[in-house]
Structure 1
Amino acid sequence: MFFLRQVYESFLFAYQALRSNVMRTTLSLLGVSVGIFAIVAVFTAVDSLNNKIRKEIDSFAGSGVLYVGKWPWLMQNNYPWWKYLNRPEMKYTEFKYLKEHLENAEAIAIMDGGRTANVSRGSNSIDANMTGASYEYNQITSTPIQDGRYFLPIESDNGLFVCIIGAKVAETLVDGRSAVGEIIKVNGIKFLVIGVIEKKGEDMLNFGGTPDEKVIIPYTTFAAVFQKDKPAPDIAIKAFKSDDGQAALEGEITGMMRSLRSIKPKQEDNFSVNRLDGLQAFFDGIFAALNIAGALIAGFSLLVGGFGIANIMFVSVKERTNIIGIQKSLGAKNYVILWQFLFEAIFLSLIGGVVGIGLVVLITLIPQEALPLSLTAGNVIKGLFISSFIGVLSGIIPAWVAAKMDPVTAIRSK
């Protein structure tokens, strides 16, 4: 009850301070509002960017997927390409063996791409990113079909001339009509369109080209027609969802590949099993640096706001010196006076923090296609905690001065 009464009285004092001089209090709280707005806005923008990039990575590479290939995915400046140049490329026979024998794999697909192809129908044409993929490709990466269907196993295994195209490719070739069932040319070779990928829009990272500008054909067709001289595929393998699913799958893949390629115990692997951890760790470092930089910049505004709160509290102590003397003469302890003014400083700072968070909420309501902003409960709590902390720092000295006053001297003051 004592604590609640102190909170209630401190709230009343804070309200009276705000009401007695609205302009002075508003200007003093402006620094806290701007600082909290800046910090929460930075946290919100970085979190939204982080979520968008992670979704794009999962959409491109799949969640819980391992990629077996010639080249390791290393995020470093001096990439030692010479160490891996003479490694053998992955083979279709290795893909078939892994598909038949892996026990910890939920799905496995072989894919190759990264090359631009001219796609045309009549006088309409567009340059698109061509990918050759086996049947389970849509279980590895997100490939939602909005019109038509996905490959059949017989089409994928027997190298039929069918394709799935992106939404932008379809719009360019058929002028708004359904592209399913149309015959198009990919680098001059005829393909039957069996499906159109759901329109996604521009990707921020643009891994492998936007899905809207893709042409996906069976891997066997791709390898036989477009890259028969030097195929360079990757084998994508999705682990079962479990705590150690990826680790168990990685160990199983490594053992099988070493056995397939007759690698002796002391010899290094001549293949790489890649996962997204390195890429995600790379972006985590960037986001951490952005958060720190944003917090430091916003900290200057909070410093100004803290001085504003301290100024209000010193004025409040001076204006209520006589009341402090009366309270202490009636038996109020030092800690009661201390908490009274400290709570008042915290409440004033929280008002500024709430205003700053409110401004961030208004920004998140503005439609943003490129980077939709989403204010999380965690960032709201961070903002309120920081504003409360600023209130404590700003109010502790004025509250201490008030608590240490001599009651006789305080009562005689005017």
Structure 2
Amino acid sequence: MPLIVRPHDSRQTPLAVIAVFRQIYESLRFAWQALRSNLLRTTLSLLGVTVGIFAIIAVFTIVDSLQRNIKETLGSLGTNVVYVQKWPFDFSGDYPWWKYFQRPEPKYTEYRLLADRLENAQAVVAMGGRGGITIKRGSNSLSARVSGVTFDYNKISDVPIAEGRYFVPQEVESARNVAIIGSTVAETLFPNQSAMGQSVQIAGLRFVVIGVGEKKGSGILEIGGDPDKRVIIPYGTFAKLFNSINPSLTIAVKGYESDKGLENLEGEIKGLLRARRSLRPQQEDSFAINRPEALAKFIGGIFAVLTVAGWFIGGFSMLVGGFGIANIMFVSVKERTNIIGIQKSLGAKNYVILLQFLFESVLLALVGGLVGIGLVYLMSFANLGSLDIQLSTGNILLGVMVSSLIGVVFGILPAALAARMNPVDAIRSK
């Protein structure tokens, strides 16, 4: 028998694709009509998914906002910076505070030693701080934090100046009475006028304002207090005012980016300080070399716990909502059994019936998820002080994906049951 080759009709493929999309569109339209016809039942069914998505996305959004806020705060401590202090950043369960309490405070002479001898440091800074200091100008006054720093402080931490300038070396070395004040200090003491060149009183001494900092706003974890309510003065002046009897300070050292892990810098600091303090080889360090990354790592662990808690609470709520969706879908299949039989007798394929009910389930869960995301968006307008809540695109997509997945998982069984019905038995059902 000769082989007959039939010519391929190129029009069949586009027509088949159009037919598939038309069936999908009809399935979506049918599902939407089914949900609208039972509005109360639909609303009750999507509540579980709404609560679940709201719990998960709200926790994720708050955690992201906290991380962003704290990251910005820790960024003010500088990158590639280590701090020589008395107390270590140790967040383990066993914290021998009594041992750390006996350690001596870092001294200015040790700062000078490190500043002169360190080879792996870009900058070495001595700094101290005292909170609750009254700053006066005429009849205006406020309580602020006064920080004393050495000249290279702006290499360790960002000091944005809105008006005026930073210190010059002579002002710091000779401990002159000059100050850089925060924006809130300037607005309070010098309303409706410039603070540049004006005088303020700190602990009874007159200081000339040489700079006003840019407005930053307070963070959740603001190390050193609100930057807008701070006054920076030369460290020598600060020591004369507050630390003349028992001077103590924090030494900040900035390393080079090429020093991976700042290992060379830390080793050099340890060697110099141990020799300075005459520590024997078997003795422990009497000082701590702290990194901001340790604090960030500890806070990250807390955020991980919060994230797991959000998944647990939200997952339980979505599980309840998923069972509600499955229950409603089984009821819907039962109510429309006769219609399913008629559709099949008219030539509807099994996958068409499957898609109708599966789309209905997904649409139900998706509407619930979008309502939950909308509630999180409304929450972002709440005034939570320094915490700025922002709903990210990633969290929106996560909510949409999770709610759609819930619709598929809990809707596939009722949809498969409807698709496998015998058309004759379905038409005869009442």
**Band of TM-score, shorter chain:** 0.7 to 0.9
CA RMSD of superposed structures (Å)? 3.2
- Aligned residues with identical type, % of pairs: 56
- Contact kept in structure 2, 1:104 and 1:245, CA below 8 Å: no
Equivalence for 1:371: 387
Q: Is the 8 A contact 1:239 1:245 kept in 2?
A: no
Offset from partner CA, 1:225-251 (integer Å, 9 cap, x none): 431221111111233446934445434
* Cα deviation code 1:169-220 (max 9, x no counterpart): 3333334322221233221122222112223344433432212322211112
2:287 corresponds, among 266, 271, 277, to 271
Question: How many Å apart are 1:146 and its aligned residue?
Answer: 1.8
Measured in 2, the distance between the counterparts of 1:138 and 1:323 equals 76
CA distance in 1, matches of 2:81, 2:23: 57
Structure 2 partner of 1:72 = 88
Residue in 2 that maps onto 1:36: 53
- Pairwise CA distance, 1:369: 5.2
The 10-residue stretch of structure 1 (175-184 or 334-343) with the greater mean CA deviation from structure 2? 334-343
Distance 2:261 2:302 in 1: 28
* Counterpart position of 1:86: 102
**What is residue 74 of structure 2 aligned with on the other side?**
57
SS of 1:128 mapped into structure 2: strand
Aligned pairs for 1:188-207 within 5 A: 188-207=204-223
- Measure, in 2, the Cα distance between the counterparts of 1:96 and 1:8: 77
Partner of 2:168: 152
Query: Deviation of residue 374 (structure 1)?
Result: 0.8
The within-5 A match list for 1:4-403 is 7-8=24-25, 10-59=27-76, 61-75=77-91, 79-241=95-257, 244-299=260-315, 301-322=317-338, 324-325=340-341, 338=354, 341-364=357-380, 370-403=386-419
Q: Counterparts of 1:93 and 1:68 in 2: how far apart (Å)? A: 13
Give the secondary-structure state (helix, strand or coil) at the position aligned to 1:84.
helix
Q: CA deviation at 1:54?
A: 2.5
Q: Which amino acid aligns with 1:314?
A: F
Secondary structure, aligned partner of 2:304: helix
The 8 Å contact of residues 134 and 218 in structure 1, kept in 2 or not, is answered as yes
Alpha carbons of 1:114 and 1:315: their partners in 2 closer, same or farther (altered >3 Å)?
same
Superposed CA offset, 1:223-280 (max 9, x none): 2443122111111123344693444543443344335445444332221110123322
Deviates more, 1:284-293 or 1:179-188: 284-293
CA pair 383-104 structure 1, distance change in 2 beyond 3 A: farther
What SS does the aligned partner of 1:181 have? coil
Q: C-alpha deviations, 1:335-364, integer Å up to 9, x for none?
A: 775565334322321222123223333443
Q: Following TM superposition, by how much is the alpha carbon of 1:94 offset from its aligned partner in structure 2, in angstroms?
A: 3.0
Q: 1:173 to 1:347 in 2, by over 3 A?
A: closer
CA shift for structure 1 position 49: 2.3
TM-score, length basis structure 1: 0.86
Deviates more, 1:126-135 or 1:80-89: 80-89
Residues 114 and 208, structure 1, Cα contact 8 Å, conserved in 2: no
Unpaired segments ≥5 residues, structure 2: 1-16
Measured against aligned partners, the alpha-carbon deviations of 1:118-175 in whole angstroms (never above 9, x if no partner) come to 3323343333222110112123223222222111122112222211122333333334
Report if aligned partners of 2:185, 2:230 keep a CA contact under 8 Å in 1.
yes
SS of the aligned residue for 2:210 comes to: strand
Number of corresponding residues: 413
SS in 1 for 2:195: coil
Query: C-alpha distance in 2, partners of 1:314/1:346?
Result: 14
What are the Cα deviations for residues 34-90 of structure 1, in whole angstroms up to 9, with x where unaligned?
43233322321232123212322323x234421112221223576422212333332
For residues 26 and 272 of structure 2, the distance between their equivalents in structure 1, rounded to whole angstroms, comes to 73
**In structure 2, how many angstroms separate the alpha carbons of the residues matched to 1:383 and 1:143?**
40
The offset of 1:20, in angstroms, is 3.3
SS in 2 for 1:200: coil
Of 118-127 and 346-355, more deviation after overlay is shown by 118-127
Asked if 1 retains the 8 angstrom alpha-carbon contact of 2:216 and 2:227, the reply is yes
Partners of 1:379 and 1:333 lie apart in 2 by: 37
| Largest Rg, 1 or 2 | 2
Q: Is the 8 A contact 1:17 1:25 kept in 2?
A: no
The amino acid that maps onto 1:42 is V
8 Å Cα contact 1:6-1:340 kept in structure 2: no
Question: 1:411, 1:385 → 2: CA distance?
Answer: 36
Contact 1:66 1:273 (8 Å CA) reproduced:
yes
CA contact (8 A) 2:108 2:247 kept: no
In structure 1, what is the Cα distance between the partners aligned to 2:342 and 2:205? Answer: 96
